Structures are given as C-alpha cells and as structure tokens.
Chains A and B, each alone.
Chain A
Amino acid sequence: MSQSSKKNHIFLKHTADVKFQAFGKTPEKCFENAACALKEILTSQRIKTIKTKKISCKGKDFESLLYNFLEEFLFLLNSKNFIFSKIKKIDIEIQKKQYKITAEIQGDSSKNYQIKTDIKAITYNDMFVKFDDKTKKYACQVVVDV
C-alpha cells in the first residue's frame, strides 16, 4: 500500500467491472479523489470549467454517503448532460448517524467530449471507507458497473 498511498487514486483488477481506491487526508479529500477516479473512467479528456453546480446528498454511514455522492455524477451526466471537471468546495457533516455531503462542482456539457465508458451504476460490492493508520489517510474502495 505504500506506493499507492502516494497517488490520489488507483485502479485495481476486476473481471467485468471497474474497481478503484481513492485516498485523502480528510474524508472530503478522499471523496473528491473518488469522484476524480469516476471521471477518469468516463473520459480521458480534459474537461473545461464552464458551469457550476451545487450538489448535496445524505447517507447513514460513510459507504452509503459515498454511493449517493458518486451516483449524483451519473445522474447529472444522464439527465443534464453535465460532466464535472473539478470540485470547488466540499464539506461532510456528521450528526447522530446522519451523514451529509454538500459540494460545489464545476464542469461542462458532456456533449463536447468523448465519453469512452458509460457507467451504469455505483455498487456496494467490496466497498469500504476507512482510516488507514499506516498512511494516516482515509481510503475508500468502489466497484462500478459498466
């Protein structure tokens, strides 16, 4: 894990779908890097920052929060033809088992880019979000259905 911990995210082997891990010093950074991995699956092109969107999602643990957060990007791509470029602000609030994430994301119309893979869904398969004592970083793992 020592090598991979230097990277923000890594892709792992999976037969049918795509599996990745993302890392960050804070849960926010870890989630942001997971979103970047998701974008890398969708396209290898550089996305311009033309539009800004606010998103917010809830969950009852870190895993369901991550699932709902990443799903929001698929929803925006399918329903609004929006692909994100970067995350401007991101904040996670935890209150009595209620997890909430709010973010301001920037991006562009997906019609201007080549989408190489359509992600069907985020899955709970092998998913985790945890603090790694060795690297002193948060790490998450996600398998997406493509």
Chain B
Amino acid sequence: MNKNPKMTKETNTSWTLERESDMNAEVRIFADDNLIKKMQEDATIKQSKNMAKLLGVLEPVVVLADAHQGYGACIGGVSAMDLEKGVISPGQIGYDIDCSVRLLKTNLKLADIKGKEKILVENLFKAVPSGVGRGGKITVSRKELDEVLKKGASWAVEKGYGLKEDLPKLEDKGCLVPCNSEDVSERAKKRGIGQLGTLGSGNHFLEVGVVDEIYNENTAKVFGLEKNQITIMIHCGSRGLGHQVASDYIKLMEEEYGYPEFDRELVNAPINSELGKKYFSAMNCAANFAFANKQIITHLVRENLKKIFPKIKIDVVYEVCHNIAKMENYEIKDKKFNSKKEKRVLVMRKGATRSFGPGRKEIPEEYRKVGQPVLIPGSMGTASYVLVGTKKAEEISWGSTVHGAGRVKSRTVSSKQSKGAEIKQALSKKGIEVMSESLEGLAEEAPDAYKDIDDVVKVVDEAGISKKVARLKPLIVIKG
C-alpha cells in the first residue's frame, strides 16, 4: 500500500487526498500549511483514509482544521453516507455521544461582575458538580430515565429545570428522534442514572466569558450578542450513559458483522439493518440525555447567579452537537448529467459542528435568515468564538465546520499537581479565575496542549465554511 498518498493543495486553506484503490471517496482537508503539518505528525491522515474505506461513503470525506488523531475516525472528521448502501459506525461518531456546547447570554455587562470573580467561581463550582466518582444531585427513577431518553431537554423543562423558551434554540429543539429507550442497555442506564446535571472531566467545562470583539454586527445582533456582554458556555456530553451505548454497539456490531481489517474501531452496521437502526436510536437517546443534562446545568447556573445578581436574565443563544450522526438533505451534483439533485444522507460528525447556511428549516426561526450559530470553545484560558453557518459549508464540507482548538500535546499520567497550581496562578494573573476538581486534571488541559484556536478559526473563516461573528474572552472557568 502507498504510505504517502498524493496530497494536493487546492487553495490556501484546503487540500485533497487522492483516492487510492481501497478508498471509496477522496478526502478533503481544511488546513493551512502549519495545521496540515501538525496533522501529518500523528495518525490523522491515516485515519481519514480509513474513513474513506467505509461502504457507501459519499465524496468527499471531510477533515477539519482542528483535526487530530482519535480512535477509528480522526477527531474533526466528517463522513456522509448513502442511506441505501452506507453503514453507520460508532467509531465515526465517538464514545462521548453528543459531546456538545451550549451558549447562554445574560443582561450583565463586564463592569457588573468586576470584583466579584472569586465569589462567582466558588459559587458556580459548588452549584455545578463534575460528578466524577460521586454522581450528581439530581436523582431520577429508572422509569423517569426512560422519559429523559425519549424527550431530551423538554423532559427537564417539564420538571421545572429551565424555561420553555429555551427549547426552540437548541439543535433539533433538544430532542433527537427516533429514540426508543429500549435500545439503550441496562448497563448504560445504570452508568448514567446518577450523572444528570454533572459536567464530567477532561476537556469539559463551564465558562463565564465576555464578548470582547464583534466581527459581524448584523449577525451578532440577530444572535442577541453585543460587546462587553457577559456570556456563559457549557461544554459536556452524555456522560457514562453515552460512553456505554458506544461500547455496547461496538461489541454487538462486531459479533454480527465482524470488524474491518484496517481498524477494529471502525466496526459498523448497514444503516438499513436492524442493528444499524437500533444503534441510531440508542445514539439519539444518549444525545437526549446530553440535552437534558445541559438543560439542568443551565437551570443550576440560573438559580445560583440569581443569588448574586437578583435581576439577572439568562437566555439560551444556541446549543450545538459535536459527536453525532444526523439525517440531512443536500444538493448533490450529478457529474454525468451536470445537474443537481436533492438527496437525504446520513452525516456522521466526530468532533465537528453542523454549519448550516441561511434558510435551512433546521435553524431556529429567529436565526434562519442569517444562518445557524456555530459555537467553538477555545482551550482553557483562550478565547472562544461564535461563528455562523454558510451555504458554502453545505456545498463543500457536508454542512460542517470545526469544534474547537484540537489537541496537539499528549496527555501523560504522571502526577502534576504543581503544574496545575502554576497554571491556575498564571491564568489568575491574566484575569481568569479557574476552579477544578483536581489540579492534576487542570494540568492536562493546559492551554499549550492545544492548537491555537485563532489559527483554526481563521482557516474555516477563510475557507468560508463558517464565518466569524463574535469572540468571547474567558473570565471564569469551572473544570470537571
């Protein structure tokens, strides 16, 4: 096999990886010269080639600017599948099903919280638990958990966690279908039942920030964002429940269909098969758990901040999914007849954000004329971005864009409490208060462990697969 497939630079921000004999599609990579070099240092390119080997994959497989090595598919990898011939693969979606981001806006300005940062960080840290090894404060019965899996965010709203107005602002209104809770194993339910309303650990966080730069006044206004406004970002996923759903179906698919020789982690099932459908339903249930989880966290944040700012108003800007598969319609070119045809496909996004342009019915009505909000969290201590989806993304990247900065440094397991303390202090000097369950965990998420978010966002903005709207500067970070 050719170890160095032919890679062609198409534009300053995109590359094409030639289709080899065992690939069913070519690979399109969004990166500049520097980011492509980083991708070549780990297994990103090799993994993207493996993604292109799956049955029924449509051209092109997309690799985004923040891509890095994962297991199975690379993180930052998107595949669109033909519904008749294609397969669905948990390894192309991720273990943390619907690891996702919600952005809240407030009626507070930067001046309102000056001097209150320490109280805020301590309060929020107590209010929103990481839940790791401890579980959360919300207890639900087994029967109720089934309702969570069926209803997603609206279950939480019905129980008094949050407002009805929150729901239309969530991707798919906070509930993915079909979602039969019987497709989720008892084991997965047991892992998740105690974890509602918890952040988890690793790169998951809750961040209070300030809008420090507006790039597009009109769109920012439509999203309800203005300079010096205080925002809150929540980044977490489906916790142990989603992780177990992925593990369960990897095993079931392996038993039924065996696994591909090129990577055991890309085990898959035909989309149309009984097992493929069950996984899709279970994955949706896990996403619904993640929606409910963030809805509860939103409620905890609201209740807590009310104690400090009695007149505070907190509204949802949007919530985007990062690890998910969705049925979506695209205009697909028929090369033979030089015509376009609308086609429904399954788009699997792993560490990628949907980036729909203006007019799509999937976008909340209030935002439909400008496009879908795209939320890109930075690494700890660096800026986050709000972008807007584009028609171009629908044309060239299966309606997808980046999901974050992307790691570059390895994690290590040695004890690094001192490094964690150093980072905390250094960030405090920069005006960023951080609280974490563990100083060692904090060290793992050091800002220099990630690619530069500014570079990553610049590439997708230039490539036109999402456009910059606003930048958020972090002030307070709660780490799981």
Q: Give the CA-CA distance A136 to B407 in the complex, in Å.
A: 37
Residues of chain A within 8 A of B438, CB atoms compared? 114-117
Which of these, A16, A71, A122, A124, contacts B264 with CB under 8 Å? A124
* Cα of A143 to Cα of B265 in the assembled complex, Å: 11
- Whole-angstrom distance between the Cβ of B197 and the nearest chain A Cβ: 15
- Interface mask (B169-196 → A, CB under 8 Å = 1, otherwise 0): 0000000000000000001001111110
Tell me whether chain B's interface is mostly helix, strand or loop, or mixed.
Answer: loop
Instruction: Tell me if B247 and A15 are in contact (CB < 8 A).
Output: no
Interface of A is mostly: mixed
B229 CB–A CB distance under 8 Å? no
- Say yes or no: A11 contacts B265, CB within 8 Å: no
**Which of these, A15, A64, A127, contacts B68 with CB under 8 Å?**
A15
The chain B residue sitting closest to A43, CB to CB, is: B133
Which residues of chain A from 101 to 138 have any CB-CB distance to chain B below 8 Å in the complex?
110-111, 113-118, 120-125, 127
Q: Are A118 and B201 in contact (CB under 8 A)?
A: yes
User: Could you say which residues of chain B place their CB within 8 Å of the CB of A71?
Assistant: 247
B72 within 8 A of A: yes
Contact B415 A113 (CB under 8 A): no
B420 smallest CB distance to A (angstroms): 9
CB pair B408 A15 closer than 8 Å: yes
Decide if A18 touches B411 in the complex (CB within 8 Å).
yes
Residue B166 interfacial (CB < 8 Å): no
Among B259, B410, B441, residue most surrounded by chain A Cβ atoms (within 10 Å): B410
- Distance from B71 Cβ to chain A, minimum over Cβ atoms (Å): 3
A91 interface contact, C-beta 8 A: no
Alpha-carbon gap, A15 to B265, bound state (A) = 17
Q: Which of A11, A77, A125, A127 contacts B413 (CB 8 A)?
A: A11
A79 touches B412 (CB 8 A): no
Which chain A residues in 1-40 approach chain B with CB under 8 Å?
11, 13-18, 20, 40
Instruction: Report the minimum CB–CB distance from B133 to chain A (whole Å).
Output: 3
Residues of the A chain whose Cβ atoms lie less than 8 Å from the Cβ of B367: none
Q: How far is the CB of A142 from chain B (nearest CB, A)?
A: 11
Interchain CB contact (< 8 A) of A115 among B195, B201, B251, B264: B201
Given B68, B192, B246, which contacts A16 in the complex, CB threshold below 8 Å?
Answer: B68
B440 contacts chain A at the CB level, 8 A cutoff: yes
**Smallest CB–CB gap between A72 and chain B, Å?**
10
**A17 close to B71 (CB less than 8 A):** yes
The distance from the CB of B157 to the nearest CB of chain A, in whole angstroms, is: 26
Is B213 in the interface zone, CB < 8 Å from A? Answer: no
Q: Report Cα–Cα, A77/B200, bound state, in Å.
A: 13
Q: How far is the CB of A13 from chain B (nearest CB, A)?
A: 4
Interface contact A15-B413, CB-CB below 8 Å: no
Instruction: Give bound CA distance, A26 to B413, whole Å.
Output: 25
Query: Which residues of B (385-430) have their CB < 8 Å from a CB of A?
Result: 407-415
A15 touching B42 in the complex, CB below 8 Å, given contacts A81-B133, A81-B134, A145-B71: yes
Is the C-beta of B75 less than 8 angstroms from some C-beta in chain A? Answer: yes
Query: How many chain A residues have a CB neighbour from B under 8 Å?
Result: 39
Known: A79-B190, A81-B133, A111-B133. A16 touches B75 (CB 8 A): yes
* Minimum C-beta distance from B129 to chain A (A): 11
Once the chains are docked, how many angstroms separate the CA of A120 from the CA of B438? 17
Query: Are the CB atoms of A16 and B413 closer together than 8 Å?
Result: no
Chain A residue at smallest Cβ distance from B193: A79
Instruction: State whether B247 touches A78 (Cβ < 8 A).
Output: no
* A74 at interface by CB-CB < 8 Å: yes
Does any Cβ of B come within 8 Å of A44's Cβ? yes
Q: For the complex, give the distance between the alpha carbons of A114 and B190 in Å.
A: 22
Cα A113 to Cα B134 in complex, Å, equals 9
In the complex the two chains form, is A123's CB within 8 Å of B134's CB?
no
The answer, yes or no, to whether B447 is at the interface (CB within 8 Å) is no
Given known A-B contacts A11-B413, A16-B68, A16-B70, A75 and B441 have beta carbons under 8 A apart = no
Chain B residues contacting A83 (CB-CB under 8 Å) are 133
* A114 with B437, Cβ < 8 A, contacts A17-B71, A74-B240 known: yes
Residue contact B191 to A75, C-beta cutoff 8 Å: yes
Contact A121 B202 (CB under 8 A): no
Q: In the complex, which of the residues B70, B191, B265, B437 contacts A79, with contact meaning CB atoms closer than 8 Å?
A: B191
Are B264 and A41 closer than 8 Å at their CB atoms? no
B72 surroundings in chain A (CB, below 8 A) = 125
How far apart are the CA atoms of A42 and B134 in the complex, in Å?
A: 13
Q: Is the CB of A125 within 8 A of B201?
A: no
A110, A115, A118, A143: residue with the most chain B Cβ atoms closer than 10 Å: A118
Shortest distance between the CB of B192 and any CB in chain A (Å): 8
Report whether A127 and B480 are in contact in the complex, using a CB–CB cutoff of 8 Å: no
Asked if A122 and B70 sit within 8 Å, CB to CB, the answer is no
A14 to B408 alpha-carbon distance, docked (Å): 10
B100 in the interface (beta carbon within 8 A)? no
Q: A64, A81, A120: which contacts B96 (Cβ < 8 A)?
A: A120
Give 11 A-B pairs besides A115-B201, A145-B71 with Cβ atoms closer than 8 angstroms.
A17-B70, A71-B247, A74-B243, A79-B187, A79-B191, A81-B135, A110-B134, A115-B133, A116-B201, A121-B95, A121-B244
On B, residues with C-beta under 8 Å from A are 42, 68-72, 75, 95-96, 130, 132-135, 187, 190-195, 200-202, 239-240, 243-244, 246-247, 250-251, 254, 259, 263-265, 407-415, 437-438, 440-441, 444, 480
Tell me the A residues contacting B by CB distance below 8 Å: 11, 13-18, 20, 40-42, 44, 64, 71, 74-75, 77-79, 81, 83, 110-111, 113-118, 120-125, 127, 143, 145-146
